[in-house]
Amino acid sequence: MSHSERPLAVTLQVVSIVLFTFIGYLNVGIPLAVLPGYVHGDLGFGAVIAGLVISVQYLATLLSRPYAGRIIDNLGSKRAVMFGLAGCGLSGVFMLLAAWTPHLPYVSLTSLFIGRLVLGSAESLVGSGSIGWGIGRVGAINTAKVISWNGIASYGALAIGAPLGVWLVNHLGLWSMGASIILLGLFGLALAWPKTAAPIVAGERLPFMHVLGRVLPHGCGLALGSIGFGTIATFITLYYATQHWDNAVLCLSLFGSSFIGARLLFANLINRLGGFRVAIACLSVETLGLLLLWLAPDAHWALAGAALSGFGFSLVFPALGVEAVNLVPASSRGAAVGAYSLFIDLSLGITGPLAGAVAASFGFASIFLFAALAALGGLALSLYLYRQAPRQRQARD
């Protein structure tokens, strides 16, 4: 594809690829709100096991990132996405098995755990593979656009998937969740099969640990900025309950719509102003939003804080991501995307227990101060990287 192609044509091309991320994350979203209740209520296991069934998927995604990066760089992004979609379908088979064996709690639970591990590994292939495929089709100059749209696809799919899963189970039963995941995986494979693959870039493949070392500072900035998202997603309903406010769901919706709106409106700023400048501006806004949530005297101020936080967090991933991916040769781009994405998995994995411990010691409002201080740390790190960037470019030249 010519890099001078019209912006709309480039966007349509990108959307046609990140559609696979949407399908993959729909599979992640569908069981999200249902499984803890099933494990705790129907199978009779404790709250810790119910939580573990959800978090084991993040662990599988985290651990499979290096392997996914290797597949993308060596076998091509299209093949990685197709492997991932097949994995999504396979996880549906294990979910179906779990739904058919509630009278055998340990068999059902084991089946769920295997399905979650398969789904977590599939998620890293589909998510990182779609980014690599998109960049390969529209050129490295559009990296920010690809990462932004990929994020819209993943967060949008999670937002749609969770209520869809609850609706399916309420109307058709637990089996329908497994069946719909199998069908979505097959549908994704049928769509991906005829699409043009991105060329595999020839050249030296850097070892994953080497790539991880290069993107480490950018990943740390992303992890610090992601704590606000993890805190709001996990604890906003409990925070509202302790304050005796209504409509916590509205807070989550406003966070999500601000996030997606900012990505749609301002993603082009990354190419115009550079990733670090956009990250600095975004982390400043996110910090303000989280401080507002901490100090909110009523639910209206909390809504404003959530909207500001969503708006601020929206471009942190693509802004720092563009700078991170540019640090490695094109032949190791898949490894760079995988290594960088690993930090958001890590951040979301540790935010729950960390913020929970803060809440237990200092009350629920204080978790937003904790998240604001983390975002402020990300802001300071981004400022430092921005100041160091010219020196690093000179060293590379």
Report pLDDT for 5: 61
- Same-domain check for residues 167 and 234: no
Letter string b/e over residues 349-388, b meaning 16 or more CB atoms within 10 A of that residue's CB: bebbebbeebbeeeebbebbbbbbebbbbbbebbeebbee
CB atoms within 10 A of CB 394: 8
Distance (Å, whole) CA 136 – CA 240: 44
Report pLDDT for 396: 55
- Same-domain check for residues 129 and 82: yes
Single residue among 175, 200, 225 that ends a domain in this structure: 200
Distance (Å, whole) CA 188 – CA 19: 9
User: Residue 147: which domain range?
Assistant: 1-200
Q: Which of 332, 268, 13, 326 shows the shortest CA–CA distance to 140? A: 326
Report pLDDT for 47: 64
- Same-domain check for residues 171 and 238: no
Q: For every one of its 397 residues, what pLDDT tens digit does the chain have, with 9 covering 90 and above?
A: 444 467 788 889 899 999 999 999 899 888 877 887 788 788 888 766 776 777 788 788 888 888 888 888 888 889 999 999 999 999 999 999 999 998 999 999 999 999 999 999 999 899 889 988 998 888 878 887 888 888 888 878 877 887 888 889 889 988 999 999 999 999 999 999 998 887 777 667 778 788 888 889 999 999 999 999 888 877 777 788 888 888 777 887 788 889 888 988 888 888 888 889 999 999 999 999 999 999 989 888 999 999 999 999 999 999 999 898 888 888 777 788 888 888 888 887 777 778 878 887 888 889 899 999 999 999 999 999 999 877 766 655 5
Domain holding 110: CATH number? 1.20.1250.20
Letter string b/e over residues 61-83, b meaning 16 or more CB atoms within 10 A of that residue's CB: bbebbbebbbbbbebbbbbbbbb
- Same-domain check for residues 293 and 160: no
- Same-domain check for residues 299 and 385: yes
Report pLDDT for 3: 47
- Same-domain check for residues 178 and 228: no
Burial of 164 (0-12, 13-18, 19+ CB in 10 A): middle
Distance (Å, whole) CA 160 – CA 168: 12
Structural domains of the chain, count? 2
DSSP codes, 92-108: HHHHHHHHH-TTSHHHH
- Same-domain check for residues 309 and 230: yes
Single residue among 200, 219, 235 that ends a domain in this structure: 200
- Residue 241's identity, in one-letter code, is A
Q: Which of 114, 99, 113 shows the shortest CA–CA distance to 49? A: 113
- Same-domain check for residues 329 and 371: yes
- Same-domain check for residues 309 and 374: yes
Distance (Å, whole) CA 181 – CA 195: 22
DSSP codes, 343-386: HHHHHHHHHHHHHHHHHHHH-TTHHHHHHHHHHHHHHHHHHHHH
Report pLDDT for 397: 52
- Same-domain check for residues 249 and 209: yes
Letter string b/e over residues 185-206, b meaning 16 or more CB atoms within 10 A of that residue's CB: beebbeebeebebbebbeeebb
- Same-domain check for residues 234 and 88: no
Report pLDDT for 111: 94
- Same-domain check for residues 166 and 17: yes
How many residues would you count in the chain?
397
Q: Provide φ and ψ at 43, rounded to 5°.
A: -90, -20
Single residue among 170, 185, 200 that ends a domain in this structure: 200
